[in-house]
Amino acid sequence: MHSQEFDAVYVRELEIDDIAPVYHLGEELFTSDLYPYLYRCWDEWEVIGLYNTDPEYCLVAEIDGQLAGFILGTIITKASWTYGYILWLGVSPKFQRRGVGDKLVDTVIARMIEDGARFMLVDTDPENVAAVKFFSRKGFGNIRQHIFLSMNLSKHEHYGRLIDYERQKAERAGYKRSRPIRTRKAEAIVNEVALNGLISESQHQEDSVI
């Protein structure tokens, strides 16, 4: 019975036409009321950026031609270590308990092993108990809590003055500096994903405290 359900799951690489459906499925899954950390981090650039940099580790699962789930990952090489890193895993509520998550994870890990990975990493919102249980069942362990710190640059004694100086310099030059969206390097994805969502929240916290 279970093997037939697993066989019905078709896994393939993410294609350009999948980007919007995958993004919207993530919106449905990573909601602010359930998982505020994941909600702050999830945006369309998560899908587009990884599709551009690591397409071989961006997979979708289909059942009967419908999007059943997705997985987005990357490879990180540090010195002599090569890490496989699963950044996002989502399964449509319509296709729960059909082996979708298992097949996505098994497929992406097999690809990463081919490319030299000997160690796997994954992280999730601490409130996402279902994800923690799932990855524990898959063999992930050694859980560590990670503390993120933030700083309001405008209110910092040194950096605040630097910001004012740059603003005044731009006004004197008659323009405001704009910086295009940059392509993220794989090694920077972890920190950038985590820190993007802290800016607005930390500003709100600072204002409420002061």
Please compute the mean of the pLDDT values over residues 31-44 and round it to a whole number: 84
Query: Which residue type does 8 have?
Result: A
Same domain, 157 and 128: no
* More confident site: 152 or 73: 73
Per-residue pLDDT, 120: 94
At residue 179 the predicted structure's pLDDT band, cuts being 50, 70 and 90, is low
Does 128 share its domain with 157?
no
Same domain for 46 and 108? Answer: yes
List all residues 6 or more positions away from 47 whose beta carbon is below 8 Å from its beta carbon: 14, 19, 22, 23, 26, 58, 72
C-alpha closest to that of 34 among 147, 168, 131, 144: 131
On whether residue 194 sits in a domain, the answer given is yes
Assess whether 61 and 25 both reside in one domain.
yes
What pLDDT shows up at residue 175?
62
Name the pTM for this structure: 0.70
Judge if 111 and 158 occupy the same domain.
no
Give the separation between CA 161 and CA 66, rounded to whole angstroms.
Answer: 54
CATH code: domain of residue 36: 3.40.630.30
Q: How far apart are CA 79 and CA 12, in angstroms?
A: 31
What span, in angstroms and rounded, lies between the C-alpha atoms of 90 and 72?
9
Q: Which of 113, 138, 163 is the last residue of a domain?
A: 138
Residue 74 lies in a domain: yes
Residue 41 has pLDDT above 60, yes or no: yes
Percentage of residues in the chain having pLDDT higher than 90:
52
Pick 25 or 182 by higher pLDDT.
25
3-state percent helix, strand, coil for the chain, nearest multiple of 5: 50, 20, 30
Q: What is the DSSP code string of 54-111?
A: -GGGEEEEEETTEEEEEEEEEEEEETTEEEEEEEEEEE-GGGTTSSHHHHHHHHHHHH
Torsion of CA 13, 96, 28, 33, to 10 degrees: -130
Number of domain units in the chain: 2
Mean pLDDT (whole number) for 187-206: 40
Reported confidence tier of residue 147, pLDDT bands at 50, 70, 90: confident
Residue 196 has pLDDT above 90, yes or no: no
Provide the domain limits for residue 80.
10-138
Residue 1 lies in a domain: no
Domain boundary among 83, 103, 138: 138
